[in-house]
Amino acid sequence: MDLPIDFATLRVLWWGLLGVLLIAFALTDGFDLGVGALLPFVARTDEERRMVINTVGATWEGNQVWFILGGGAIFAAWPLVYAVSFSGFYLAMFLVLSALILRPVAFKYRSKRTSPRWRAFWDWSLFISGFVPALVFGVAVGNVLLGAPFRLTSELRIFYDGTLLGLFTPFSLLAGLLSVAMLVVHGAAWLSIKAERGPVLDRARTYGSIAAILSLILFAAGGFYVAYGGVGYAVTGVLDVQGPSNPLRALTEAVPGAWLTNYQTYSWMMAAPVLGFLGAWRPWPAYGGDPLCWRSAGPRSRRWALSPRSVCRCSRSSCPAPSIRPPA
């Protein structure tokens, strides 16, 4: 097909687009997953749980589409990446899939009956469907950094030589826990914006603070391992950026520490890990601020919500009324 742009540019565009999709997924659905993972702990009574679920009830479905779209984009733009990762991590994908199937059902079905057992069942389902994907996504990213044991035949048929348990190495588990911790921070921050003053808010702040500290520690430990743990790959052969998408014509080798070389080559990229630390650290002390001001400011002004002065300038009358109300 004749393309108006050259192949190398197209590749960068798709790479950027996939980044946008996955980051948007983490930003928007991340707090939904975090709220799900926190649900049984921050909210103990049915009324509290209904309030917590209602903070994400209307939007989680749209947010999850970023993930579906990310999957579709990988399929369309890098069929081989999609094929290798989904078939290689077969049973892990099945776990994620089961959790993601459980999620829409739990959200929709929980309120349909009033019996405490019915509700408790779906509450724990929501916990599983928030916790398991967060964990497995992190484990998957950890394994991508470590490298996966697959080989390709000359016709690009894929053979994967690893096992499900082989995916859970200490480093990939660390990445998985980091992922859970980050999304819990995210979910707790969301709740501290949306929840009314009360026990739920207090618990969300406590769990959020613990998760924020854990995120900082795990992120630092993971970074240390990536630098000195002997992991890393680099393209060592000649790379034809305009050439056909055939990995058999490129050469990649294991080079310890090579994941960090780009930070030396392009120092502006350091912004990413710096933001990673800031992102976990910043909301943590903010949990100590006046939660009412947070909530009144509403999600749209979260950027400013970190500065208490600008938030509290919003007078009571101009503040939107608390929109979360437990249903009758």
Partner 1 sequence: MIDLAVVDLSRLQFALTALYHFLFVPLTLGLSFMLVIMESIYVMTRRPIWRTITRFWGVLFGINFALGVATGITMEFQFGMNWSYYSHYVGDIFGAPLAIEGLMAFFLEATFVGLMFFGWDKLKPVTHLFVTFLVALGTNLSALWILIANGWMQNPVGSTFNPDTMRMEVTDFMAVLFNPVAQAKFVHTVSAGYVIAAAFVLAVSAFYLLRRRHVGFAKRSMTVAAAFGLAASLSVVVLGDESGYALTDNQKMKLAAIEGMWHTHEAPAGLSIVGLPDMAARETRYEIQIPWALGLIATRSLDGTVDGIFELVAISEDRIERGVLAYDALERIKADTTDVQARADFEVHRNDLGYGLMLRRYVEDPRDATPEQIMITAWDTVPNVPLMFWTFRIMAGIGFLMIALFATAFILCTLRKHETRWFLWVALLAMPLPWIAAELGWIVAEVGRQPWAVEGVLPTFLGASSLSVPQLWTTIIGFTLFYGALAVVEVGLILHTIKKGPFHEHSLFGDPDPQPAEAAREPAPTVA
Contact footprint for partner 1 (CB under 8 A): 1, 50, 57-59, 61-62, 64-65, 68-69, 71-80, 82-87, 90-91, 93-94, 97-98, 100-105, 107-109, 111-113, 154-160, 243-246, 325, 327-328
Sign of CA pseudo-dihedral 242, 246, 247, 248: negative
Residue 83 vs 217, nearer CB to partner 1: 83
Output the smallest distance, CB 57 to partner 1, in A. Answer: 7
- Contact yes or no for 103/129 (Cβ under 8 A): yes
Q: Which two tokens stand for residue 267?
A: 């120092």
d(CA 13, CA 21): 12
Output the smallest distance, CB 200 to partner 1, in A. Answer: 18
Output the smallest distance, CB 60 to partner 1, in A. Answer: 8
Output the smallest distance, CB 107 to partner 1, in A. Answer: 7
Output the smallest distance, CB 136 to partner 1, in A. Answer: 12
Residue 6 vs 290, nearer CB to partner 1: 6
Output the smallest distance, CB 51 to partner 1, in A. Answer: 12
Residue 89 vs 287, nearer CB to partner 1: 89
Residue 41 vs 94, nearer CB to partner 1: 94
Residue 107 vs 287, nearer CB to partner 1: 107
Q: Which two tokens stand for residue 18?
A: 């996939």
Q: Is 144 helix (H, G, I), strand (E, B) or coil?
A: helix
Residue 244 vs 288, nearer CB to partner 1: 244
Task: Report the half-sphere exposure of 8 (CA within 13 A, side-chain side).
Answer: 5
Reference 186, options 297, 313, 279; nearest CA is 279
- Contact yes or no for 213/254 (Cβ under 8 A): no
Residues in the chain: 328
Q: Which two tokens stand for residue 91?
A: 């049973």
Identity of residue 275: L
- Contact yes or no for 316/297 (Cβ under 8 A): no
